[in-house]
Amino acid sequence: MSYTAPTKDMLFAMRELAGLTKIATLPGYEDATPETVEAVLEEAAKFHGEVLAPLNAAGDRQPSSWNDGQVTTTEGFREAFRQFGEGGWQGIVHPAEFGGQGLPKLVAAPCIEMMNAANMSFALCPLLTDGAIEALLTAGSDALKQRYLPRLIAGEWTGTMNLTEPQAGSDLALVRTRADRQADGTYKVSGTKIFITYGEHDMAENIVHLVLARTPDAPEGVKGISLFLVPKFLVNDDGSLGARNDVECVSIEHKLGIKASPTAVLQFGDNGGAVGYLIGEENRGLEYMFVMMNAARFGVGVQGIAISDRAYQQAVGYAKDRVQSRPVDGSAKEAVSIIHHPDVRRMLTEMRALTEGARALALVAAGYSDLAHQSPDAETRARFGAAYEYLVPVIKGWSTEMSLEVTSLGVQVHGGMGFIEETGAAQHYRDARILPIYEGTTAIQANDLIGRKTARDGGAAARGILAEIDQTLEALKEYADGCRNAACSAMLMRLGVARLALGNAVDHVVENTRKDPNAVFGTSVAYLKLTGIVLTGWQMARALIVATQKRDEDEAFYGAKIATAEYFANHILPRASAFEAAVISTTGQDGFLALDEACF
């Protein structure tokens, strides 16, 4: 099944919802002219659609394989990665100083979506490399930057994030990997890391591992973790590759999905210690890692959108092709293609509504990030920085959770054929299942949303967003009164109810997080999903206003947007009240939270 990038919907959201024009005027983004942005998206659509998408099924059927410490990736991946690097795709968002294109995140985000929709297993490699680049930019010494960044940004070398150990998953306080300071200022790193995405592979000459470890005199817990750069091959002063470092890939995992992406167990220091270079200062590793993780979390949210769109396209293709049964309304005597059956249409619309809503929110957030970085005004930077931080766990949590629903519907549209692996729908279902887990599970995102993003500022960031939703409701009200549009009326009512539900939940969380932490964290995922539904619904409402105004210009596109927004209003937004009920009615002193462990 081929993949066609939804460039039109992306540009719509970038321009009409995320403020591309304004962002293109920010200092440093002068190159992001309308022509350039369109050209980048078109090129990205072409490259990802033509080069990466055709390799997606192959990656599932002939996964990466391990033999004696070497990992061989799926045939074609190596060559595709070479073209990826040459095309400059790794560098879109990174500084021109190190060879990147320095474009806004708002322009990079749709390219990342395309790459992941085309081939999520492949795309994980550049995604992790982005994280390594971010960490080096944030905290790396000039020497490390000069030596590593140009090669990473050029797509010649790749990066990894080494956090997890067998006993330390979500809880990084338990990290035991050890880093011993050497006389020459380097460190000797030893320990075992697991779940290392692209921890070993044959697509690049060198792999730059960023590794969390402890120095011998470090304090216990998360305040004693440092971040080290450990290259697979040491790098000589002239930039050429030197000796093989003491890091070995012991095995790779046999996974439910993303099979082409090797998930490595890495052993550091079995032969005296791997040479590592401290990034930033000792004991501040977690702080730097959060820089990477925040970027990566946004990226994983985009993966959820990407795999959802891919599953949608696959399902639409089948639904237009497969002929079965007469229509229920008696409008034809013969069997019709199944897209004419109401429930198939409902499934496709649900897939699309969830995907478009999440895409719009992610792009809006990308615009916030650009404003937070490049606005000349400090207050604007702070405000959009806080808003972006608030949105990251929502985008990661919601876009990945909804991708489970969307890829499952993608299987369902195919009926029995969906369960047959050759069809391809099942691969998306399997691939998507990792998304609510890695880079922090949905509960970790939800705890972040509650603890750091809602309770800590007393709900200020959340209420800032609620105030913006109120403005949209006001606009919609004026608009709905005039046009008597069924979609606008439905959205006005449903978003209004859902916004109140979110407001109540925010109040509840602010008031109870300290008082009754078990109850609040026991409903954290409901709170996150509530937030996700309301915020993506809000974007659909904004899109609806624009689409209604411009309908005459492009009936097919805007008419579909209006119908999708109406569907979102009547079928998805009403779920908000159910999540509100869960949040509001739970207490930590009785019920399921107080049950004895033996009762389970």
Instruction: Confirm if 7 and 43 have CB atoms less than 8 A apart.
Output: no
x/- track of binding to its own copies for residues 104-143 (CB under 8 A): ----------------------------------------
User: Does 357 interact with its own copies (rule: CB under 8 A)?
Assistant: no
User: Does 550 interact with its own copies (rule: CB under 8 A)?
Assistant: no
Q: What is the DSSP string of 426-460?
A: HHHHHHHTTTTTTTS-HHHHHHHHHIIIIITTTTH
Report angle CA 176, 180, 184 to the nearest 5 degrees: 155
Residue 33, exposed/middle/buried by CB under 10 A (0-12, 13-18, 19+)? exposed
Report 234-253 residues binding its own copies (CB under 8 A).
253
What's the chain's Rg over C-alpha atoms?
24
Report 441-460 residues binding its own copies (CB under 8 A).
441-443, 446-447
We find the least distance from the C-beta atom of residue 89 to its own copies, in angstroms, to be: 27
Count Cβ neighbours within 10 Å for each residue of 209-245 and write b for 16 or more, e otherwise. Answer: bbbbbbbeebeeebebbbbbbbbbbebeeeeeeeeeb
Nearest to its own copies of 157, 567 (CB atom): 567
Nearest to its own copies of 191, 418 (CB atom): 418
What Cα–Cα distance (Å) separates residue 7 from each residue in 24, 41, 89, 166?
18, 7, 17, 42
Query: Interface with its own copies by CB under 8 A: which range of 121-129, 337-345, 375-383, 470-478?
Result: 337-345
Nearest to its own copies of 22, 320 (CB atom): 320
Q: Among 348, 473, 480, 491, which residue interacts with its own copies (rule: CB under 8 A)? A: 348
User: Does 339 interact with its own copies (rule: CB under 8 A)?
Assistant: yes
We find the least distance from the C-beta atom of residue 41 to its own copies, in angstroms, to be: 21
Query: Interface with its own copies by CB under 8 A: which range of 4-12, 67-75, 330-338, 368-376?
Result: 330-338
Closest CA to 297 of 438, 135, 449, 433: 438
Nearest to its own copies of 382, 483 (CB atom): 483
Q: Among 275, 490, 502, 541, which residue interacts with its own copies (rule: CB under 8 A)? A: 490
Nearest to its own copies of 55, 526 (CB atom): 526
User: Does 163 interact with its own copies (rule: CB under 8 A)?
Assistant: no
User: Does 463 interact with its own copies (rule: CB under 8 A)?
Assistant: no
We find the least distance from the C-beta atom of residue 57 to its own copies, in angstroms, to be: 13
Helix (H) or strand (E) holding 250: strand 247-252
Q: Among 517, 546, 550, 551, which residue interacts with its own copies (rule: CB under 8 A)? A: 517
We find the least distance from the C-beta atom of residue 376 to its own copies, in angstroms, to be: 41
Q: Among 411, 461, 509, 544, which residue interacts with its own copies (rule: CB under 8 A)? A: 411
Number of residues that bind its own copies (CB under 8 A): 102
Q: Among 475, 486, 500, 546, which residue interacts with its own copies (rule: CB under 8 A)? A: 486
User: Does 570 interact with its own copies (rule: CB under 8 A)?
Assistant: yes
CA–CA separation, 291 vs 283, rounded Å? 15
Helix (H) or strand (E) holding 384: helix 378-413
User: Does 320 interact with its own copies (rule: CB under 8 A)?
Assistant: yes
User: Does 581 interact with its own copies (rule: CB under 8 A)?
Assistant: yes
Report 165-184 residues binding its own copies (CB under 8 A).
167, 169-171, 173-174
Query: Interface with its own copies by CB under 8 A: which range of 20-28, 32-40, 135-143, 553-561?
Result: 553-561
x/- track of binding to its own copies for residues 28-67 (CB under 8 A): ----------------------------------------
Characterize the bridge pairing of strands 207-213 and 158-162.
Answer: parallel
Report 420-439 residues binding its own copies (CB under 8 A).
420-422, 426, 429-430, 433-434, 436-438
* Dihedral pair phi/psi, residue 208, rounded to 5°: -105, 100
Q: Among 352, 428, 499, 529, which residue interacts with its own copies (rule: CB under 8 A)? A: 352
287 is catalytic: no
Q: What is the DSSP string of 157-209?
A: SEEEEE--BTTBSS-GGG---EEEE-TTS-EEEEEEEEEEETSS-SSSS-EEE
CA–CA separation, 431 vs 427, rounded Å? 6
Q: Among 82, 181, 188, 345, which residue interacts with its own copies (rule: CB under 8 A)? A: 345
52-55 long-range contacts (CB < 8 A, ≥24 apart) are: 52/80, 52/84, 52/115, 52/118, 52/119, 52/122, 52/123, 53/2, 53/3, 53/117, 53/118, 53/119, 54/2, 55/80, 55/119, 55/122, 55/260
Among 439, 553, 555, 566, the active-site one is 439
CA–CA separation, 253 vs 263, rounded Å? 6
Q: Among 69, 239, 458, 559, which residue interacts with its own copies (rule: CB under 8 A)? A: 559
Evaluate the CA torsion angle 467, 354, 556, 4 in order and state its sign: positive
CA–CA separation, 472 vs 462, rounded Å? 16
Report 366-405 residues binding its own copies (CB under 8 A).
404
We find the least distance from the C-beta atom of residue 456 to its own copies, in angstroms, to be: 14
Residue in the block written with tokens 């992610």: 362
Report 257-296 residues binding its own copies (CB under 8 A).
257
**Phi-psi category of residue 459: left, alpha or beta, with phi > 0 → left and psi -120 to 50 → alpha:** left
Active site residues: 439
